[in-house]
Structure formats: structure tokens, C-alpha cells
Amino acid sequence: MNFILLGAPGAGKGTQAKLLSSNLDIPHISTGDMLREEVKKLTALGEKVRVYMAKGELVPDELVLEAIKKRLQEDDCENGFVLDGFPRTLVQAKDLDRLLEGINKRINLVIKLSVSPEVVLSRLSARQICEFCGADYNLETRPPEKEGKCDLCGGELVQRMDDRNEVILNRLEVYEKQTQPLEVYYREQNRLIEIDGGRDKDLVLKEILQIIRKDDRA
């Protein structure tokens, strides 16, 4: 089963992708992590990506797609994968479908995690990150052992600039405008399923697994 997780910032895509990867024994493919790995390995693709990352610019779609194509042809993707962080636009979705067709694969399901702005604000405003090593915490669900201090290195914990309420609300507005055509695209193809992502992560996981196991589009 090959599927995509969609959802606004704070919807829990990363959390669910990791849980699904473990439960279904398929790789969680985060485009951000994948690109950073290419840079770390000093590949030819990674060098192209590094130029954009070093400038703080978005990596062009063609390079992201090149990385995705390379990753999806690895042996561990033979029985499926969960894609997190891509596509984000209609153009990217169409390019992804063409890429997959070229390697004899297809997306079976697109699962959207729907959450209210209130839930997103609560989740993201509770996030903190170590300013030294980058480890992340959540004051509600995964707090540090010592308030304000990183468990790993003892560094100071701070709130990310993009997790401030006014920034979060703007990110949500941008997300909705950007992804609405994407959702229409997948819904018209009968591939989109929407579930409530505002619940406890275990309940969300249970529903996703039930959907996957009952679905006949695999």
C-alpha cells in the first residue's frame, strides 16, 4: 500500500507517519529528511540541494522529485511507503503521478488529517526546541525532565519563531489556499479520505489502520 498523509501544520502527519511505518513495516518518507540525507551523504543530488538549503531557499520541485524517484526505487519500498510532506500543490501532485507511472507505482490512498485551528494552536504553541542540539519537545505530550532544559545536552529550550500564534494562523491560511486544489484533485479520483486528526494519536492510528486494511484500492 502506497499512501500520502496530508494535513495542516500541527495535524500530526509526522507522528502518524512514524507510527504507520512501524505498524505496517513500510518506510516513512519525509521529503525534508530525505533531502538532508542526500546532502549528508555528499551525493551529486545532495550537492545540488545543498546550494538551495544554504541560502534558506526552497528546493526546486524537479530536485525533490528526483530524490523521491531515487528513494522509491530502493528495496524497502517494494511493499509500500507513506509519503509525508509532498505533494503540497496541484502541480506537484500531477508531477508525482507521472513520476510514479514511470516506475510502475501509484498512490493508493491519500489520508487527510483534519484539525481545528484551536487544536493546531494548542499543539504548536506547546512545542519547544533545544537551541543547541535541535531536539524537540512538547510541553503537553513530551515535556523535558527539567523545565526549560534539554534532556540530551542540557541546552536551553526555546519556542520556534514559526510556532508563535500569529505566525501559526498565517501558516494555516496559506496551507488551506495552497492545498485546496490538491484535495479536489485527489477527491475526484476517489483517493482522498478525511479523518479527525484532533484526537489522541492512538485513536487516529487505529482508524487509519482500519481504513487501510478494509480498502480495496491496494
Active site residues: 13, 88, 127, 160, 171
Helix count and strand count (H, E) for the chain: 8, 8
**Beta carbons of 39 and 53 less than 8 angstroms apart:** yes
Q: CA of 207: how far to CAs of 41, 76, 193, 197, 203, in Å?
A: 37, 25, 11, 10, 6
- The distance from CA 140 to its chain's CA centroid, rounded to whole angstroms, is 21
- Residue from 85, 87, 45 nearest 67 by CA: 45
Cell 538549503: give the residue. 53
